Amino acid sequence: MKNRTYLVFLIFLAVILEAACGSSDNVTNDAASVGTPSVDAASLSEASVALDVALDLPPALDTTPAMDTGTSYDVSSEVALANADASAASCNLQVFGTTPPSLLSLTGCFEPGKPIQPIAAFFPYEVNSPLWSDGAEKTRFLMVPAGSVVTVKDCDQTPELCLPIDQGGTAEDEGHFDLPVGSILIKTFSLQNKLIETRLLVRLSTLRWKGFSYEWNEDVTEATFLSDYKDRTVGTQVWHFPSQVECLLCHTEAAGRSLGPTTRQLDRVAGGGNQLDRMVAAGLLTARPKALAPYPDPRKPGPVENRARAYLQANCSFCHRPGGSFGDMDMRYATSLLDTNLCGVPSARGSGDPELPSLRVAPGKPADSFLSFSMHDRTIYAMPRLSSNLVDPDGTSVVDQWISGIASCPLAPPN
């Protein structure tokens, strides 16, 4: 009887941890610095998962009924929706329970005998401003459960969500895609025309997301699940496979976890048509989202400021935003330069070292700007902090051009 009571107590404790850990993944540190974050709630969330494993509990599932949109799937859709429900039956939350499949081919998310080809239920997509991943080529796919649709944050329809965080608003950008429980994102990385890694990001419940990393073998015939981080030499570079804790340090709660699927990122022509229109036709969206200016590609011609800000949005803003790990900097695309808290603001990181830039952004002077310095540096001051061992030549170039063009820092309006 004592054992049973103790087990019930442990299960209750696990539920409490799940609720507490899933509600926040903020990382505490000096917000003015850009140093290595100290793991806070993200680590606690991982501890909650470990407790689930110890008790042999299934993943926490959301019991809220899926929204019935009345949308009927059409066999002519590019995601082969006539067969999607059947093909997705083996690729669901239960597959990613306490013990994830050891091989990518066992997840049920890929065609039999073709572990690189996701099943028909997955929607392929591209983004306008990609995350720098040490020069790797990437393919991206999204699947939502049958009968569910994506909800898009719209400040006209739900203005209360767009209030400042301290007034009850949410930190996600307008146009953020709120994926329903059971959604799965797939991203595959290739280096030197050879598959190196496939990552899956799964929404297990309203509060709980989890990432899974699979390493491809040398023959590129199968990928194996990695239970922890790993570094592997590929040619002349070192590739970093993130741990599950590291996944959620970038896929932050403040940025909405999924990161890539947003109106500004997906509003582009790919696969024979505009991706947003194709998602409507596929039943993933009930209607085309509110029009928002797409992010420009930082690597292509265009106004330097817009391209630099789009780069910071994709590579920095998931941490540097209100409610994020470093909330006193706001690197979101739509934030004014004044409100980014970058220009002319002292940097606490490495303060007192005369060899380091003393300002986050020194107008007109990239060499005196810690933002530029950290992007060029590959030691303890390097940014991004995770999953990058190489300097991004295009990204550093466009950000340096932007800083060079800032004549002076904007002044705050009088109170």
Q: Which helix (H) or strand (E) holds 239?
A: strand 237-241
Band (pLDDT 50/70/90 cuts) for residue 352 is low
In tens, the pLDDT along 276-313 reads 999 999 999 999 999 999 999 999 999 999 999 999 99
Tell me: pLDDT of 74 over 50: no
How distant, in Å, are the alpha carbons of 242, 275, 318, 325 from that of 41? 17, 35, 16, 11
In tens, the pLDDT along 195-209 reads 999 999 999 999 899
Percentage of residues in the chain having pLDDT higher than 70: 78
Strands 151-152 and 177-178 come out as: antiparallel
Contacts of residue 413, Cβ cutoff 8 Å, sequence gap at least 6: none
- Whether 265 contacts 152, CB under 8 Å: no
In tens, the pLDDT along 148-169 reads 999 999 999 999 999 988 898 9
Residue-level pLDDT at 224: 97
More confidently predicted of 386 and 194: 194
Tokens at 199, concatenated: 């990552």
In tens, the pLDDT along 41-69 reads 333 333 333 333 332 333 333 333 333 23
Residue-level pLDDT at 209: 93
pTM of the model: 0.78
Which sequence spans correspond to the domains of the chain?
2-54, 81-281, 304-404
